[in-house]
Amino acid sequence: MKYLFKNLIGCWICCLISFFANAQNPIIQTIYTADPAPMVHNDTMFLYTTHDEDNATWFAMKEWRVYSSADMVNWTDHPVPLSLESFSWADKDAWAAQCIYRNGKFYFYICAHHKELNKMAVGVAVSDKPTGPFKDALGKPLVSANWGDIDPTVFIDDDGQAYLYWGNPNLYYVKLNDDMISYNQEVGVVQVPLTKEGFHVREKDTDKRPSAYEEGPWLYKRNSLYYLLYPAGGVPEHLAYSTSTSPTGPWTYQDTIMHVIEKGGAFTNHPALIDFKGKTYLFYHNGALPGGGGFNRSVAVEEIQFNPDGTIPLITPTKAGVVNSISNLNPYVRQQAETIAWTEGVETAADAKTGVYVTDIQDGDYIKVRAVDFAKGARNFQASVASGGKGGRIELRLGSLSGQLIGTCQVKNTGGATKWKTVKSKVNGAQGVHDLFLVFRGEEDVLFHFDWWKFTGK
């Protein structure tokens, strides 16, 4: 997605670049992402998303994506974990999904269009790793009973009972069996009453739906209280929530969490609430990347603090996003080039041998990595790069795009665009914790590919 700034000139470029260089939202800038579904596993936040195609005019998505972060500001791109091709029964519309861990396996609940039933259905895929690859666990949908079987959300209660909620315009749940790929047939598919006490009244399309509930449910528990978050009100959607003392309701409507995003929004929104390392985060999506909108969305995140009475305050979407990194990044071990806090201009690609790498690098593009701790100073910088052309160079700057230059790494022709070589350069003056800007320079249209980097301490 070459969407950024390439055609802008002069001062206008500088203003925009410095403005965006301090932003943290949307958190993925290399592609359009939507329908965030975070999962914490082994001290890492995994973020599953859908993938809006460039220039899309419908939710014509083909795959799901996964990113990870240990610090909530630097996000690592992973190979595509699951796509429509994995489901023999599905032909289009890879919509909202959520992944959860149980007994050594990861279960990925998705929704997609069923080619024979000609409607959306909920499926489940399984993997031994959070980053996949995932495989269809059933060879058929897990649920496909009703119109509007979309947006599954999965939750395991403290007593081990798992619940799957989903649906638009209705809201349903099943009690999942311990195998996570079947559900309690005696309880069956339960339709949740969308009463005004539970889900508020609707102001738009009042003849079409019984309450403000729209789609995209997310179930969360805190201090024995269950919170059901959802996009509400009809399009454009806002985010709202209801609570209950039981995971199956009855639900009591509480309030709006996020108003319709008027500027830089999309006509949908999609909430996810999760705790990580003592903090709570609200993920959602907007249309804030250049070229963004209703079918070109982007995932964003805000740290939230509950009110003393356990209610969720109104959250304002910000460009700043998560300001403080939870931990510092270690520059003395290999860091993937696709570990990014913010970037302009580059894209990522993947192959079986190399995994994900950074591509489409042009003069002036850059990658920002937050909170890099040069505790041991820095003597050398190494990078794995590949170039079939003249190559280019990587300027290493601290603090900002025009910040202190601590080194410049030359990249020459390596013998081909997939011929990886480790290049090395001297570094001077790096000490303490800094945001690192890897600024790419060169003359040709495509400079080189970039797989990983690391520093050597003094």
Residues classed as catalytic: 35, 197
The least distance separating ligand FUB from the CB of residue 52, rounded to whole angstroms, comes to: 7
Within 4-43, which residues bind ligand FUB (CB under 6 A)? Answer: 34-35
Within 92-131, which residues bind ligand FUB (CB under 6 A)? Answer: 95-96
Cα angle 432, 439, 396; round to 5: 30
How many chain residues interact with ligand FUB (CB under 6 A)?
Answer: 12
Q: Is 387 in the site for ligand FUB (CB under 6 A)?
A: no
The least distance separating ligand FUB from the CB of residue 121, rounded to whole angstroms, comes to: 13
What CA–CA distances, in Å, run from 178 to 139, 220, 227? 19, 19, 23
The least distance separating ligand FUB from the CB of residue 217, rounded to whole angstroms, comes to: 9
Q: Evaluate whether 112 touches 64 at the Cβ level (below 8 Å).
A: no
Within 45-84, which residues bind ligand FUB (CB under 6 A)? Answer: 50, 59
Binding mask 231-270 for ligand FUB (x = CB under 6 A): -------------------------------------x-x
The DSSP bridge pattern shows strands 82-83 and 75-77 to be unpaired
Q: Contacting ligand FUB (CB under 6 A), which of 71, 77, 149, 215? A: 215
Compute the half-sphere exposure of residue 300: CA atoms within 13 Å on the CB side of its CA.
Answer: 27
Tokens 């002069």, residue located: 10
Q: Which is nearer to ligand FUB, 269 or 414 (CB)?
A: 269
Q: Which is nearer to ligand FUB, 95 or 357 (CB)?
A: 95
Q: Evaluate whether 243 touches 251 at the Cβ level (below 8 Å).
A: yes
Q: Contacting ligand FUB (CB under 6 A), which of 150, 154, 356, 438? A: 150
Q: Is 298 in the site for ligand FUB (CB under 6 A)?
A: no
Q: Which is nearer to ligand FUB, 268 or 325 (CB)?
A: 268
Q: Which is nearer to ligand FUB, 17 or 96 (CB)?
A: 96
Give the Cβ contact number of residue 451 at 10 Å.
Answer: 19
What CA–CA distances, in Å, run from 324 to 244, 284, 328, 375, 384? 32, 19, 10, 19, 29
Q: Which is nearer to ligand FUB, 13 or 260 (CB)?
A: 260
Give the Cβ contact number of residue 438 at 10 Å.
Answer: 24
Q: Is 153 in the site for ligand FUB (CB under 6 A)?
A: no
- DSSP E strand boundaries for 7-118: 32-41, 44-52, 63-69, 75-77, 82-83, 90-102, 105-114
Q: Contacting ligand FUB (CB under 6 A), which of 132, 216, 233, 345? A: 216
Q: Is 149 in the site for ligand FUB (CB under 6 A)?
A: no
- DSSP E strand boundaries for 103-209: 105-114, 119-127, 135-136, 153-156, 162-166, 172-176, 190-191
Cα angle 27, 129, 92; round to 5: 65
Q: Which is nearer to ligand FUB, 32 or 453 (CB)?
A: 32
The least distance separating ligand FUB from the CB of residue 100, rounded to whole angstroms, comes to: 18
What CA–CA distances, in Å, run from 250 to 109, 194, 245, 369? 24, 10, 8, 45
Residues that bind ligand FUB (CB under 6 A): 34-35, 50, 59, 95-96, 150-151, 215-216, 268, 270
